[in-house]
């Protein structure tokens, strides 16, 4: 089905209505924008003009979606509780907004049989205009010799206090050339700032300083910081100390 840019707004509008109150943001893009910067081994297997949407979690997701999800005992089994909550929130929104439509939903933590990620979250975020992806190649004449430096996205409002959670591909919706690719805000324009950012993300990521490379409008709450500073294996125990009674079967021994 060919859709106009007005229809793109209606797709993102429906998702926005359901997901923004849970602390998520949505950004549309064309599959072709994403595929254009990647080798074919990493392409999404859809035509260039297919509509896709990137979903980000903002600091509010923890209080607006995650704690209520635990409260209603939505967390089942041993897989990561945040991943379960994101999956629940996104899949519920998709099935309610687009009943009967084929939507390929890919989560950041999912791998293909080849062990490659199901989508490159940072590339998708940059190409949709959601968050600028700063890479080693964005710094000329750096001093890192032959070392591979991992790149990092910065959001113009939340700095590094967000995560890229999912990519939705609307298999039967194609968009025309009137959909213009947005340029992500370049909030770390200087060479020094980019060096500081990449060094913080690669060498000191545990102190979270990379997240404050710009002044964010909102950061993670103390409770959320406590959760994410706890080792994944100990998070179930932390949730129990917060009074979330997860059923016996759901507990790691």
Burial of residue 101, with CB atoms counted within 10 A of its CB: 0-12 exposed, 13-18 middle, 19 or more buried: middle
By CB under 6 A, tell whether 58 contacts ligand B12: no
Q: Which is nearer to ligand B12, 94 or 121 (by Cβ)?
A: 121
Judged by CB under 6 A, the residue of 8, 25, 61, 108 near ligand B12 is 108
Question: Alpha helix locations (H) across the chain?
Answer: 5-19, 31-35, 61, 67-71, 81-97, 121-128, 191-203, 222-229, 235-241
The stretch among 21-29, 34-42, 77-85, 92-100 that binds ligand B12 (CB under 6 A) is 34-42
Q: Are 180 and 188 in contact (CB under 8 A)?
A: no
Ramachandran sector of residue 25 (left: φ over 0; alpha: ψ -120 to 50; beta: rest): beta
By CB under 6 A, tell whether 42 contacts ligand B12: yes
Minimum CB distance to ligand B12, residue 87 (Å): 13
Minimum CB distance to ligand B12, residue 27 (Å): 13
Q: Which is nearer to ligand B12, 17 or 110 (by Cβ)?
A: 110
Q: Please state, in angstroms and rounded to a whole number, the distance separating the CA atoms of residues 153 and 25.
A: 15
Residues 111-150: x where in contact with ligand B12 by CB under 6 A, - otherwise, as a string: ------x-xxxxx--xx-----x-x--------------x
């Amino acid at each position: 089905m060919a859709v106009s840019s007005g229809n793109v707004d209606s797709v993102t509008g429906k998702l926005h209505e359901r997901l923004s109150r849970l602390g998520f943001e949505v950004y549309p893009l064309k599959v072709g924008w994403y595929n254009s910067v990647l080798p074919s081994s990493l392409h999404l297997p859809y035509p260039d003009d297919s509509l896709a949407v990137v979903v980000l979690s903002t600091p509010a997701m923890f209080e607006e979606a995650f704690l209520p999800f635990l409260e209603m005992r939505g967390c089942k089994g041993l897989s990561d509780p945040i991943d379960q909550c994101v999956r629940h929130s996104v899949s519920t929104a998709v099935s309610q907004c687009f009943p009967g439509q084929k939507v390929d939903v890919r989560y950041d933590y999912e791998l293909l049989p080849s062990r490659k990620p199901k989508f490159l979250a940072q590339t998708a975020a940059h190409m949709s205009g959601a968050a600028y992806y700063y890479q080693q190649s964005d710094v000329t004449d750096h001093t890192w010799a032959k070392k591979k430096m991992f790149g990092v996205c910065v959001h113009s409002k939340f700095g590094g206090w967000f995560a890229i959670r999912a990519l939705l591909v609307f298999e039967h919706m194609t968009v025309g050339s009137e959909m213009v690719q947005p340029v992500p805000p370049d909030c770390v324009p200087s060479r020094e700032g980019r060096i500081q950012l990449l060094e913080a993300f690669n060498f000191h990521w545990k102190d979270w300083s990379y997240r404050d490379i710009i002044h964010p409008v909102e950061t993670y709450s103390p409770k959320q910081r406590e959760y994410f500073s706890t080792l994944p294996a100990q998070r179930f125990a932390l949730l129990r100390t917060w009074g979330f009674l997860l059923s016996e079967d759901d507990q790691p021994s």
